[in-house]
A and B are shown apart, each in its own frame.
Chain A
Amino acid sequence: MSDWRDEVEALTLKGQIKMPYTWSVGETGSRFLVALRDEQKILANRCPLCGTVYVPPRKNCGTCFADIGTDDWLEVGPEGVVTAFTIIHQAHPLQPLATPFAYAIIQLDGADVGFVHILKDGWDRLKNGVRVRAKFGIERNGRILDIDGFEILT
């Protein structure tokens, strides 16, 4: 006897959710992004208890749970060292660039934590330990990608 399940057309239905969001950056993060946009400076701040220099700056230290004061700010970079990276070969519409490009964790001069960003070229010279420098975009609107990318120096 035939089983209807062998015959039935198992359907799938297509749908898409496109939802606009408005994310609050907060005062601390806003000060950082405004400095990127208006002064092409990379700001950081320092935990008053453990001394960790955070970039981007934080309102409080996640480890110590201490508030970071308004006077604990400093400028870091714009140069730093790549501590880890990947070169993206598989394209995806959500990625900021067409492939290939690189994501890297960069230890900016003067900071104690890594800074995640992109490198657009220079693959043959990209390895952990290379020095890089932030290159700012010409049009800046208060986003992390106001830094256009990092360029390899050596």
Chain B
Amino acid sequence: MARRVAIIGTGQTHHRSQRRDVNGREMIHEAVQRALADCELTMRDIDAVVIGNMDHFEAINSVDTWSVEGSGGVMKPIMKVTTGGTTGTSVAIAAYYHVASGMFDKVLAIGWEKNSESDTTGAIVTCSDPIWDRYSYSGAIPSLATEASAYMEKYGATQRDAARVALRERTHAQNNPYAHMHGRPLTLDEILDSPMLAYPIKLGDICPRTDGAAAVVFAAEDVAEKLAPRPAWIKATAVRHTYSWFGDVDQRTGLESLERAAREAYAAAGIKNPAEDFDVAELYLPYSYAGLKWIESLGFCGPGQGPQFIWDGHTDMGGKIPVNPSGGVMSTNCIGATALLRVAEAAIQVMGKGGARQVPDVKTALATGFGGCWWSDVVILGKEKPA
């Protein structure tokens, strides 16, 4: 039987397009120090470390070894986990498994990326099969753009609907001092007037490239309550990977991996009506159209109802289920940290530490990860200790 586990501390860098003042190891160190300070621990208290990024963005392999003086992993059990876009939720879920297994009491999860160090498209195409997909269908934006065009065709959604999602993310980011896009608001017209990258995705519809790191401390049930006044309990996690070939994923349906992961996690956490049962959601939405379609896959509303749900303001601060009070992926995207930031921000909401981005009285929070070729992770956090 797995032990109950809670998040007791989080830390993140002030995310920027380029952090020339620090190298990768030093940037990791900033996030770790902030996470330890948040739960008043020192590195000596940490029993194991799980760390991840996407190697090809910096072309340095084995972050588990070369970053140890920054991560705190010197002479400790440390494991690297890397799964593309979901790396951040993978390190979180792996850290959770470490503690739930009973083998470690306090485990540090770290995600980071220095996106400024390479060409994002050049690095990301190495995720595609070199024989079948890389030269006839490649890059992060085109695959998302085909999904968007299929969704628009099926439900009549418009570029303006997507821009409303982008507006929400950018507006929320103004409340988050850590967000890459903090201090850089945009209007709906500015988003709609931004240059077309890959139809229907414009510059204003897509996530930025960010330098940043995040760290989260997981603790076993008997120590979590002693260490944190209000720990964020893990209620459920689920992982679903679907890709074999890009053409196998039918873009005319919902995001199947997310639907299946959500179904399993909701059942484990007793979530029956997600839009009512969750108080806040930190969703891995790498582009605006995901904010229309994927909330349907998560069951916030029915198929094709995403645009109306967004325009009605249900996902804004003060709405029925505020989505991405942090500003989300479209406001900060240090890729290996991106999904861990979703978990960290959901934990921050449960712990009541959100400052200007805090949603009042959060009892249950949803975090998701999205990666590579249409796969999904779901993490559900709660204020109440699970039964």
Given A94-B138, A113-B245, A117-B137, A144 and B150 contact (CB-CB distance below 8 Å): no
B247 touching A103 by the CB < 8 A rule?
no
Given A86-B199, A105-B251, A94 and B146 contact (CB-CB distance below 8 Å): no
Contact partner, A88, options B131, B142, B195, Cβ 8 Å: B142
Contact partner, B131, options A29, A85, A114, A118, Cβ 8 Å: A29
B131 touching A144 by the CB < 8 A rule?
yes
Contact partner, B251, options A56, A62, A84, A117, Cβ 8 Å: A84
Cα–Cα, bound, A95→B252 (Å): 25
* Contact of A138 with B by CB under 8 A: no
Cα–Cα, bound, A80→B245 (Å): 18
Contact partner, B150, options A5, A84, A103, A143, Cβ 8 Å: A84
Q: Is the interface of A mostly helix, strand, loop or mixed?
A: loop
How many A residues touch the partner, as a band? 35 or more
Instruction: Bits for A4-45, please: 1 = Cβ < 8 Å to B, else 0.
Output: 010000111001010001010100010000000000000000
Contact partner, A85, options B133, B149, B201, B252, Cβ 8 Å: B149
Kindly list chain B residues whose C-beta atoms are within 8 Å of the C-beta of A12.
20
Kindly list chain B residues whose C-beta atoms are within 8 Å of the C-beta of A86.
141-142, 145-146, 148-149, 198-201
Restricting to B93-119, which residues have a CB under 8 Å from any CB of A? none
* Contact of A116 with B by CB under 8 A: yes
Kindly list chain A residues whose C-beta atoms are within 8 Å of the C-beta of B133.
116
A95 touching B131 by the CB < 8 A rule?
no
Kindly list chain B residues whose C-beta atoms are within 8 Å of the C-beta of A145.
135-136
Cα–Cα, bound, A113→B139 (Å): 21
B146 touching A105 by the CB < 8 A rule?
yes
Smallest CB separation, A100 vs chain B (Å): 9
Given A94-B125, A95-B139, A116-B136, A25 and B131 contact (CB-CB distance below 8 Å): yes
* Contact of A125 with B by CB under 8 A: no
Cα–Cα, bound, A127→B146 (Å): 11
Kindly list chain A residues whose C-beta atoms are within 8 Å of the C-beta of B135.
96, 143-145
B247 touching A128 by the CB < 8 A rule?
no
* Contact of B75 with A by CB under 8 A: no
* Contact of B121 with A by CB under 8 A: yes
A113 touching B248 by the CB < 8 A rule?
yes
Instruction: Bits for A31-73, please: 1 = Cβ < 8 Å to B, else 0.
Output: 0000000000000000000000001101000100000000000
Cα–Cα, bound, A127→B247 (Å): 17
B residues apposed to A, CB below 8 Å: 20-21, 59, 121-122, 125, 130-133, 135-139, 141-142, 145-150, 153, 195-201, 244-252
A residues apposed to B, CB below 8 Å: 5, 10-12, 15, 17, 21, 23, 25, 29, 55-56, 58, 62, 83-90, 92, 94-96, 103-106, 113-118, 127-129, 143-145
* Beyond known contacts A87-B198, A117-B136, A118-B136: 11 more, CB 8 A cutoff: A15-B59, A25-B131, A55-B247, A84-B150, A84-B251, A89-B195, A90-B198, A94-B139, A96-B135, A117-B137, A144-B131
